[in-house]
Structure 1
Amino acid sequence: MGGIDGPALGSLCEALRGPVLAPGDAGYDEARRIYNAMIDRRPAVIAGCVDVADVRTALSFAQDTGLELTVRGGGHSGPGLCAADDALMLDLTPMRWVDVDPQRRIARVGGRSRWGDLDHATHGFGLATPAGIVSTTGVGGLTLGGGHGHLTRRYGLTIDNLLSADVVLADGTFVTASETEHPDLFWALRGGGGNFGVVTSFTFRLHPVDTVGLAMTVWPVDRTREVLRWYREFLPGAPEELSGFFALLTVPPGPPFPEPIHGRKMCAVVWCYTGDLEGDRLEKALTVVNVPGPPAFHFTTPVPYPALQSMFDGLMPKGLQWYWRGDFFDAVPDDSIAVHEKYGQNLPTGLSTMHLYPIDGATRRVDADDTAWAYRHATWSGVIAGIDPEPANAGLVRRWCVDYWSELHPHSMGGAYVNFLGEEESADRVRGTYRGHYDRLATIKHTYDPDNFFHANQNVPPTTS
């Protein structure tokens, strides 16, 4: 039991309404598994928290026993920061709920909810908020890191639509953070990661989003140079209702892709159009895809927004080997395009990929100092992801990712989307990600978590004075 004696474990079981699991218990091995199968850690105890009272009890137990604490929401942390050997995993799995107020266009969301839960609840009212590209991602981790996705160019980052958050602090205090209550904490939560407490619920602003235009355009990977030169010029000047992320990928063997291109390495743009879909307006908006040369495949269709959000879920199920790294970019110079071309032609496995997510448009209408997110003038957030189902290929995908990132990083702005940082990346890398906001975050950390109890994250240690 990782050093927890029977009576102590029994007292935790009695105090919590949620399930408590220790090594050897039925369900323990399934409960400890996270999205990235490259991470295989064995907590001393998993405390399932049903409500705020459970969270406070679990925090107190970890402090009394001296156990390291990790917090699991959706479990999508690439470096596995939600799990640690011989630690207490505070598991928010039972706190999965969504409450929508369509008249006020807001939604309150439990700390363990997935984006698919929110999309399902809001779609019935023709509403949504910006959030990623995979519906199984947890609301908590994505939001606290900043959050970008298909709707970002039009409606901003996820944190730009966060109205408040309920938080349990290290000393057990329960607070609501917003523009008017604990505004310093609210500032820090919007991009500062899990450094400040356990967020038990989020309240978001919603926007009118119902049926959107989906398009996918793919070209042979040896056209990467021409396509990226065109893409870097076209998209930043396109209307904000059109978004499209650039990708290097291997075409999966299934619809909508025709069989002749199955398994081929390609460069691609995955488009989302939130403008008027009457007539052929989607097709007209994308006639430009022929500018860099005729694509090998181009597909357009109107879809419900939740269908777009869940489009990659089947390709990326829980249990794959993942290794990723990221960077912010304000430009895509020719020298960096040569790097993309090189590594796109050498994708090591069928699922390994690189994405450039556009984060301009509405993101830039928020002042640079209004949130902890420090890269308001970036144009793209890039991620390189080595992915494969086979553990034997873990080293292969990791080497490809690290080599690719090492050659591309000199062309970046220096920092990265915090959710794309790896666990082994240095404290200087975290500081570079927050730039001029780092010292302010450290001061707020000292106010709300002076002992750095919440350190299983991309950590910002508290100031010492």
Structure 2
Amino acid sequence: MNTIDETTVGGLREALRGSVITPQDPGYDAARSIYNAMIDRRPAAFAPCVDVADVRAVISFARDTGTELAVRAGGHSGPGLCLVDDGLVLDLSPMRWVRVDPETDTAQVGGGSLLSDLDHATHAFGRAVPAGIVSTTGVGGLTLGGGHGHLTRRYGLTVDSLLSADVVLADGSYVTASPESHPDLFWALRGGGGNFGVVTSFTFRLHPASAVGVAVTVWPVDRTPEVLRWYREFLPAAPDELSGFFALLVVPPGPPFPEPLHGQKMCGVVWCYTGDLSDERLTEVFAVVNEPAPPAFHFTTPMPYPALQTMFDQLLPEGLQWYWRGDCFETIPDAAIDVHHKYGENIPTGLSTMHLYPVDGAAHQAGADDAAWAHRDAVWSGIIAGIDPDPANAEAIRQWCVDYWTDLHPHSMGGSYVNFIGPGESQERVRATYRGHYDRLAAVKRAYDPDNLFHANQNIPPAPDRPAHLP
């Protein structure tokens, strides 16, 4: 790949409405700062794009000059795939906008938008899109990976609500992908990551979600075996209106937790209920938390859905050290529970954690081949995350995560939610994540990006020969 010099940067500046940021500019260090502070990369230039014309110009520049290209939307990429050393970063962050159409119950969302933008705009109409649990997450990266969150059991994956996407392709052309237009590309975008083009806007179907019932329940970490054995049976049999992700954690020093619990290792469930929010009904729904063992703490309240989405924002701000890995699970066997108990007892830092997100319920209503997301039979999507503010602890959190994942992986389905694949994992992990969809994705890649311009991602190289007819 070629490097960028001042002459070529000058040509790029002239082609854009937005600015170009290089290492000589005052805003360079801020531009290369992303959510995961463990990632320290130095791109040659950033191109914040204010519109589709800018996106097309940046793609054409990278293609014509042979410059390494990365695409940044929200900047939450755990492995830092939105940055590339010595190359060019196409930055969508200026394209943060949401337009809600209450007549059609849809929202069009700019490619640089965050979940906070989407939640704020749709909440005004009593609506939401099932997406994520941290409001600073980018809509683009989450959606292209498949997307799951608090509302998945009720309304499906994020991609199940995607109606269309406006995309700039590697050749600079601009298309709308939908079930009627470029259906092969639309299929691939729904879980295939950033392999196929730059999505400048998404159009989503909206769902009723104004206030939700929220509960947080924690038990001492030595109760992990009893709680997980109960949870694995209870939640899949529960109505789709109830969701709850299981976590291993260190209790943070703040509300709603009482001070005596601060700093203690716990297992717990963060609940979301979208049914009747009367006090009587919430009490009835969450009475079950006493079944596995008496909780050390339980808190229940109705709250606006965007408030739930921001619950972890202050606890997990940008600039922490992160190392994560994930897998999908159909079951939680006793041997896996033993692994969770072992590593829950040995959480290395106050922010390190493990989550099991339910991806059943409404997410199982779609067909196995309806989208690139290849785990319609999964019941949980798990992530192990070593997190700490101190770079001196980077190796400790990385090793805990790797060891935990290594011991747990034999009990998984072999692949992961693609956004949870960690730094340095092999190409075989990507193939395992897409299972029987991988070859079809490679064929779509060949049709839309035959030279693999978009490869700074969990990459799917183009198939070696373009088929006469894509599936």
2:73 counterpart letter in structure 1: G
> What are the within-5 Å matches in structure 2 for residues 65-464 of structure 1?
65-464=65-464
1:213 counterpart letter in structure 2: G
Residue in structure 1 matched with residue 468 of structure 2 by the alignment = none
* Residue deviations 1:222-276 (CA, integer Å, cap 9, x gap): 0000000000010000010000000000000011000110110000000000001
CA drift at 1:5: 2.6
Question: Contact (CA 8 Å) 1:188, 1:372: kept in 2 or not?
Answer: yes
Q: C-alpha separation between the residues in 2 aligned to 1:423 and 1:110?
A: 28
Residue in structure 1 matched with residue 44 of structure 2 by the alignment = 44
* Residue deviations 1:325-379 (CA, integer Å, cap 9, x gap): 0000010011000000000000000000000000000011000000001110110
2:174 counterpart letter in structure 1: F
Residue in structure 1 matched with residue 10 of structure 2 by the alignment = 10
* Residue deviations 1:49-104 (CA, integer Å, cap 9, x gap): 01111011111111222210000000000000000110100001110000001121
Aligned structure 1 segments of 4 or more residues deviating by more than 2 angstroms: 2-7
Question: Contact (CA 8 Å) 1:189, 1:196: kept in 2 or not?
Answer: yes
Unpaired runs of 5+ residues, structure 2, are 466-471
CA drift at 1:14: 1.4
1:364 counterpart letter in structure 2: H
Q: C-alpha separation between the residues in 2 aligned to 1:446 and 1:63?
A: 16
Name the SS of the counterpart of 1:20 in structure 2: coil
2:262 counterpart letter in structure 1: H
Q: C-alpha separation between the residues in 2 aligned to 1:150 and 1:65?
A: 43
Q: C-alpha separation between the residues in 2 aligned to 1:373 and 1:396?
A: 32
Q: C-alpha separation between the residues in 1 aligned to 2:422 and 2:294?
A: 38
Question: Contact (CA 8 Å) 2:50, 2:94: kept in 1 or not?
Answer: yes
1:152 counterpart letter in structure 2: T
Name the SS of the counterpart of 2:413 in structure 1: coil
The count of aligned residue pairs is 464
CA drift at 1:282: 1.1
Question: Contact (CA 8 Å) 2:72, 2:91: kept in 1 or not?
Answer: yes
2:361 counterpart letter in structure 1: G
1:35 counterpart letter in structure 2: Y
* Residue deviations 1:170-207 (CA, integer Å, cap 9, x gap): 00000000000000000000000000000000000000
Percent of aligned pairs with the same amino acid = 74
CA drift at 1:278: 2.2
2:133 counterpart letter in structure 1: I
2:434 counterpart letter in structure 1: Y
Question: Contact (CA 8 Å) 1:132, 1:148: kept in 2 or not?
Answer: yes
Q: C-alpha separation between the residues in 2 aligned to 1:275 and 1:422?
A: 36
2:457 counterpart letter in structure 1: N
2:276 counterpart letter in structure 1: D
Question: Contact (CA 8 Å) 1:221, 1:248: kept in 2 or not?
Answer: yes
Question: Contact (CA 8 Å) 1:329, 1:378: kept in 2 or not?
Answer: yes
Name the SS of the counterpart of 1:286 in structure 2: helix
Name the SS of the counterpart of 1:172 in structure 2: coil
1:220 counterpart letter in structure 2: P
CA drift at 1:426: 1.0
Residue in structure 1 matched with residue 32 of structure 2 by the alignment = 32
Q: C-alpha separation between the residues in 2 aligned to 1:429 and 1:33?
A: 27
CA drift at 1:7: 2.4
1:142 counterpart letter in structure 2: L
Q: C-alpha separation between the residues in 2 aligned to 1:47 and 1:359?
A: 36
CA drift at 1:32: 1.0
CA drift at 1:3: 3.9
* Residue deviations 1:402-444 (CA, integer Å, cap 9, x gap): 0000000000010000000023111111111001000000000
Name the SS of the counterpart of 1:93 in structure 2: coil
Unpaired runs of 5+ residues, structure 1, are none
Name the SS of the counterpart of 1:351 in structure 2: coil
Residue in structure 1 matched with residue 469 of structure 2 by the alignment = none
Question: Contact (CA 8 Å) 1:423, 1:458: kept in 2 or not?
Answer: no
Q: What TM-score comes out, normalization by structure 2 length?
A: 0.98
CA drift at 1:293: 1.2
Q: CA RMSD in A?
A: 0.8
Question: Contact (CA 8 Å) 2:4, 2:87: kept in 1 or not?
Answer: no
Q: C-alpha separation between the residues in 2 aligned to 1:286 and 1:48?
A: 46
Q: C-alpha separation between the residues in 2 aligned to 1:242 and 1:282?
A: 11
Residue in structure 2 matched with residue 23 of structure 1 by the alignment = 23
Name the SS of the counterpart of 1:217 in structure 2: strand
1:43 counterpart letter in structure 2: P
